[in-house]
Amino acid sequence: MPPSIWINTGELSGDMHGAALLEALRALAPDLSCTGMGGPYLRAAGQQAMLRVEDLSVMGITEVIAYLPRIFSMLRDIRAELARTRPDAVVLIDAPEFNFRVAKAATDLGIPVYYYISPKIWAWRTGRVQFIKRHVRRMLSILPFEVDFYRRHGMEVDYVGNPLVDMVDWPALAAIAPVAGRIGLMPGSRRKEVESLMPAFGDAARLMLEHRPGLEFHCMRAPSTTEAALRALWPQDIPLHIVAPEDRYHAVRSCQMLIAASGTATLETALIGTPTLVTYKVSPFSYWLGRKLVKVRFAALPNLVLDREVFPELLQEKATGPVIAQHAAAWLDAPEALAAVRSELDVLRTMLGEPGAAGRAARIIIDDLTGRKQQD
C-alpha cells in the first residue's frame, strides 16, 4: 500500500516548511497520501487538512488561556482521527505545546513520530528532551547549534540544514540593490502580534519622517492577514505600500532596512541580507514569565546562530515608536553600520547548510519507514 502520513503544524510559519517537506516526500513516494493539520501552503501542496492551523494562531501565555477550549477540542479530534485512520507516520513541525500532545497520542497508538524542525527546548524547559526521547523516533534539526544541545543531553539528531536556504534564492536576490530610504515592515502573522506591533511601527514612521521626509514604508503582508487589517492599524496620513506574500523576498531585499516581529521571518531577512530591527510584545505577565524561564541570550534566531547581537532586539517596553525610530535613525545615519551588518549576514548564510533540507528530511523519513516495514 502507498504510505500515508499525518503532518501536523501548529504555526503558520511552519506551514511553508511542511509544504516543502510534503513535496519532497511525494518526489520519493508519488502515491503517498497526506492528511493532518495545516495552513494554506500545505493545503496547496495537497494535504487533506482535517484541521486548519489558522485556528491555532495565538501567542503568549495569557493569550493561549482564552483559546484552551478550542485547543482541547482540536486535540480530541486529532486523537480520534489518528485512531481511525492509523497513518504510517506522524510528522510534527515545531509548535511543542500543541504537538507534544499529538506525539503522545501517536505513540500510544504505536504510530512512529518524526519531528521536523526541533521545538526550541534549548531556550527553556530543557527537561523536555526526555519526552522527545520517549515519543519521537527521529528528530530532524534545522539549526546547527541544536546538534550540540541534544548531544549534551545524550541524544543524537539528524541535522538536515535549514529549509529557508531553499526558499530564499540568494543568487537571484543578490542582484537587487537596496533602495535608499525604503523601510520594510514585517508585523508578523498572528492577529494579536500584528495588533500589538503595527501601531508602534506607525508611531516610529511618523517620528522618522520628521527628520527624513523622503522615507517610504513597505509592509510585507502575511497570508493570514488582510490588507484592510493592516491599514486599519496604520496612520491614514502616512503612505503605506502593501506587499503580497508571494512578492515578499524581492521586496525585503529592496529595502534599506527592516522593522520586524521576532520569529522565523528574521532568519529569512538575515538570509536575504537586509539589516533588521527585531521587535516583540506580549502581555506583561507572558513577558515576565518568559524572562524567568528562557535560558538563551538572544530572542532573534540570527543572533542565536551567530552568537552575538547583530540584529538589535527591541522587546516589550522597547517595542515603542520612539525607541524603534531611534534605532532606525542610528542605522540610517551611518551607512557603514548597515554595511557591517550585511557582512555579518554573509557569514550567517554559510552556516545554515546547503540547499535541499526538505529533500534530506524526506529521504530520512521514507528510508526509515521502509526499513521499519521490512522489519515488520
Fold assignment, 170-351: Rossmann fold (3.40.50)
Mean pLDDT value of segment 297-304: 89
- What's the pLDDT at 295? 65
Q: Which residue has the cell 512578492?
A: 247
Sequence spans of domains, the chain: 4-163+356-375, 170-351
Instruction: Domain 4-163+356-375: give its CATH superfamily.
Output: Glycogen Phosphorylase B; (3.40.50.2000)
Report CA torsion sign: 37, 43, 46, 50: positive
CA gap 53, 250 in Å, rounded: 26
pLDDT at position 57 over 70: no
> Cβ(198)–Cβ(230) under 8 Å?
yes
Residue with cell 494562531: 57
Lowest-confidence pick of 61-65, 191-195, 281-285 = 61-65
Do the domains spanning 4-163+356-375 and 170-351 agree at the CATH topology level?
Answer: yes
* C-beta of residue 112 within 8 angstroms of C-beta of residue 3: no
How far is the CA of 348 from the CAs of 247, 306, 338, in angstroms?
A: 23, 7, 15
Per residue in 221-235, pLDDT (tens digit) is 998 899 999 999 999
The confidence score (pLDDT) of residue 370 equals: 87
What is this structure's pTM? 0.79
